[in-house]
């Protein structure tokens, strides 16, 4: 379980990137909603402890409990799906509330998905291009994906699928299969989009359909599009250096209440307005550096499961960042997904720190190169 690790193998660079980004996020959260800033600080401290503990536990030891991890994930999601301990907020049941404890299982689910499928694909990597294995893997991911989607948490379910597909690709999925799937998917998606844009469509919930229409026709559906439109204006108004944190300008997105809950999914709009282009660029560069470090550590991992865990965490942070930025800048329909390490959310923050802890442990056990190896 615990091994003798060398300090020189500990990736302090990755830790610095994560801590700096988290502290920037805490500063912006304090400006957007001061009342929750102390909770985010507590989340960071809990996350750091979790990251250190996980980083010192051999990831192969953790992977021994693969089926327990998978079952634990389904149990947590099931408590919401079957409304046993589910807590409603904002029209969605995504939280489990047990006394003073309140957390979001779909965030922990990403860690569980990465761990389980890193073991699964590493064990059966030689059969990854065989139809039976792909069917089994598909069934195994569909169950938690469906539970997440039904909360509803559509974007989170999409992130979960992107993590799964990234792991499948990194395992060595044949390009012939990828091209074949794309050949079928592209026209299928085109037909799907055509169908859901019809006023009498029954595929999506009405509120989901309205969000898409507000994105496509913001003038016609101004009542639904105002949040994204205000976000775009806020980011642009910050110009190069921004208006400064904790400003009292009544026309700012936070003070004028132009964006509800600006400290969560739309935190980047506050960053754009108060820190300007320079601050936004710094946030995105830090996120990029974190993803790159995860990939570098993964390339040096001693086995396939380690490479997959690092790749899964990199995909998680990368895709979630992409979706969040696309939403707040109007490149995608409005849907909720937090900006990694920056948005307010204790479950999201602690889950991300756990993911980084796994990557750090893999970095502590680099591949041993033999004679003639590079």
Residue 251's CB: how many other CB atoms inside 10 A? 12
**Phi, psi torsion values for 96, nearest 5 degrees:** -105, 125
Domain-embedded: residue 5: no
Domain count of the fold of the chain: 1
**Phi, psi torsion values for 239, nearest 5 degrees:** 50, -135
Domain of 267 in residue numbering reads as 21-363
Element (H, E) at 96: strand 92-98
* Rounded Cα gap, residues 217 and 222, in angstroms: 8
Residue 2's CB: how many other CB atoms inside 10 A? 8
* Rounded Cα gap, residues 259 and 236, in angstroms: 15
* Rounded Cα gap, residues 374 and 370, in angstroms: 8
Q: Is residue 98 helix, strand or coil? A: strand
Domain-embedded: residue 40: yes
Domain-embedded: residue 226: yes
The pLDDT, as a whole number, for residue 86 is 60
* Rounded Cα gap, residues 76 and 111, in angstroms: 13
The pLDDT, as a whole number, for residue 373 is 40
Domain-embedded: residue 8: no
pLDDT tens digits for range 128-169: 999 999 999 999 999 999 999 888 778 899 999 999 999 999
The pLDDT, as a whole number, for residue 93 is 61
Contact 161, 103 (CB under 8 A): no
Contact 357, 367 (CB under 8 A): no
The pLDDT, as a whole number, for residue 371 is 36
The pLDDT, as a whole number, for residue 203 is 75
The pLDDT, as a whole number, for residue 219 is 82
Residue 95's CB: how many other CB atoms inside 10 A? 18
Please state, in angstroms and as integers, the Cα–Cα distance from residue 274 to each residue in 18, 27, 287, following that order: 21, 11, 19
Domain-embedded: residue 371: no
Residue 367's CB: how many other CB atoms inside 10 A? 13
Domain-embedded: residue 332: yes
Domain-embedded: residue 155: yes
* Rounded Cα gap, residues 20 and 31, in angstroms: 17
Contact 163, 148 (CB under 8 A): no
The pLDDT, as a whole number, for residue 168 is 95
Burial of 317-338, coded b for 16+ CB within 10 Å and e otherwise, reads: bbbbbbbbbebbbbebbbbbbb
330 CB-near residues (< 8 Å, 6+ apart): 215, 228, 229, 231, 232
Domain-embedded: residue 372: no
Which stretches of the chain drop beneath a pLDDT of 70? 1-2, 84-93, 98-100, 368-374
The residues that bridge with 57 in the sheet, in sequence order, are 2
């Amino acid at each position: 379980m615990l091994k003798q690790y060398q300090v020189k193998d500990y990736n302090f660079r990755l830790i610095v990137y994560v801590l700096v980004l988290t502290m920037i996020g805490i500063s912006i959260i304090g400006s957007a909603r001061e009342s929750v800033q102390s909770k985010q600080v507590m989340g960071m401290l809990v996350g750091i402890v979790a990251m250190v503990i996980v980083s010192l536990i051999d990831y192969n030891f953790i992977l021994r409990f693969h089926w327990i991890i998978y079952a634990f994930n389904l149990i947590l999601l099931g408590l919401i799906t079957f409304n046993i301990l589910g807590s409603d907020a904002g029209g969605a049941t995504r939280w489990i509330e047990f006394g003073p404890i309140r957390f979001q299982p779909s965030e922990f689910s990403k860690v569980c998905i990465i761990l389980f499928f890193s073991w699964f694909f590493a064990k059966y990597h030689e059969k990854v291009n065989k139809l039976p294995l792909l069917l089994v893997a598909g069934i195994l991911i569909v169950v938690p994906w469906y539970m997440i989607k039904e909360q509803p948490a559509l974007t989170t379910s999409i992130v979960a699928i992107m993590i799964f597909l990234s792991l499948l690709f990194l395992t060595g999925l044949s390009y012939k299969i990828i091209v074949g799937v794309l050949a079928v998917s592209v026209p299928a998606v085109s037909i799907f989009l055509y169908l859901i844009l019809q006023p009498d469509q029954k595929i999506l919930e009405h509120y989901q359909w309205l969000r898409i229409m507000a994105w496509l026709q913001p003038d016609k559906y101004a009542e639904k599009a105002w949040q994204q439109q205000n976000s775009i204006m806020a980011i642009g108004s910050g110009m190069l250096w921004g208006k400064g944190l904790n400003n009292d300008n009544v026309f700012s997105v936070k003070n004028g209440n132009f964006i509800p809950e600006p400290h969560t999914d739309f935190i980047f709009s506050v960053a754009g307005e108060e820190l300007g282009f320079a601050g936004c660029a710094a946030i995105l560069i830090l996120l990029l550096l974190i993803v790159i470090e995860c990939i570098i550590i993964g390339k040096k991992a001693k086995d396939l499961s380690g490479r997959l865990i690092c790749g899964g965490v990199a995909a998680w942070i990368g895709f979630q960042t992409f979706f969040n930025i696309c939403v707040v800048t109007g490149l995608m329909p409005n849907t909720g997904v937090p900006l990694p390490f920056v948005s307010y959310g204790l479950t999201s923050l602690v889950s991300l720190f756990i993911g980084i802890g796994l990557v750090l442990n893999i970095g502590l056990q680099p591949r041993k190169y033999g004679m003639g190896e590079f």
